Structure 1
Amino acid sequence: MTRMPTYFISHGGGPWPWLPEMRRGFAELERTLAAMPSEFPEKPKAVLMISGHWETADFAVMSSNAPPMVYDYTGFPAHTYEITYPAPGAPTLAQRTADLIKAAGLPTHLDDQQGFDHGVFAPMAVIYPEADVPTYQVSLQHGYDPAAHFALGRALAPLRDEGVLIVGSGLSYHNLRNFGPGARVPSTEFDTWLNDVMLRDPEERTQALLNWETAPSARIAHKEEDHLAPIFVALGAAEADASTVTYHEEGIFGGVTATSFRLG
């Protein structure tokens, strides 16, 4: 089995693939997500997502054989609360994942009730529209401690050699109260810093991300870092690998600059 890359993706907004107007606004994001399978060395055995929309007291691992749906958004048309993304789960890999997390000294448990949130099913509906690749999640941990999430990524790294694609799903700017034109300056400042950091040597890159709050406009870009923390996991799982930009766009959500990255 060839080693899989890892990704941090800016996943867009809500159930956007099912809303024509939003979908047009995310045409470039859709193009890059749809292109991802062509970048893999082979079809993954499973996709492991770390989404900004699921967090627990520890690092929970989704273990359902057929995960349900979680419609974790409000104010959208009725049909978006009937969306299904029927990818199978990966209970055997979930146990393997929990064992790796536990072996790293991190707290974890299996969760056979949790379903796919929109940070997973929206991008996955574009990446694998046939829903034919087993998909599961590991939660963020409350508090978003960067060091703990880097440690999680390091614990998950062996899965890359076992056919598992690890994807951190968030957004490089996520301040819902400051979308629109007011996001233009802070998102550009933070995104410029992030792009620069991601091109640095691995050790320097890790240190910069551990201290991300010192970045320009950091706390404007992320009042809470739920949508940034997935990048710590993706980096931890590919800490020695170079990164490349897979998606970069200015002006989404009326003024937001956003970027996605691949490692390896």
Structure 2
Amino acid sequence: MKKTLLLLFIVALQACSDTTVQLPTDDVDKGSRIDSKLETNAVRSSSDIGTGIGVDTDNSIPTGIYFSNKKCGSDKTCKNFTPEKIDGKYVLFKNQDSNEAAYYLLVKDNAYYLYSLQFLDEDYSAVGSWSQLKRIDEPDLSFEIETIEQVMGSDYMGSYDNVNINNKLNTLANNSGLLEIGSLLEGNKIPTHETIKFIHTNDGYKVDCENYIKKYEEIADEFFKKNMAVGFHFYYECSSGNVIYFQDVNKLQ
């Protein structure tokens, strides 16, 4: 029961649409200040991505932005999704129907970041977050996530650090409903422990769900006793027999 308590809240999010959304003027101004503060962490312009920087080997992923463009169920039927782009920048947009989770993988300057937008609990609370993936010393695409930076949506996850949570989540992303891919906004830091392994496909990568569930089961009891989240990102899809695919956004245009 303890293993599954957290995960009962995770449901999927509707696919990103092609709808163009304009940020309010105040949010754009705030965004400029944030972008200035995080200049070293900003995403390269879309024209720079996919220019061959980086080497695609069995244990590396080239520089770029990758989107969860396809999900296949246990019955082998698949759904295709389109990334959301506003003013030339990719975003997670929480004002969508709550049906499918959406993810971006950002690879920049030999660093890896995972952005996610999910709907949690029975009220379908939209939660946007980002995490840095740390490479595991193995000859494959295995990563660890130690913390989740929740920057959009105030919900039960704040129980891990419920002191002044509203102020901690008073960010551009939370106010505008948009989380820009590449922005490392400070939010509510949630301790977790995930092992994520990616597998090469013909046109991108997929999450190794078998490995993900195996690693989850190895540590779930221990981390729940410590009041830490486990399996925050892909547990719902993987435990339901789904497969999550990622592809370079440039190939989806």
Could you say whether these structures have the same fold, taking a TM-score greater than 0.5 normalized by the shorter chain as the test?
no
Higher helix share: 1
Which one has a larger percent strand, Structure 1 or Structure 2? 2
| TM-score, length of structure 2 as denominator length | 0.31
Q: Which fold has the larger relative contact order, with Cα–Cα distance below 8 Å and residues 6 or more apart in sequence?
A: 1
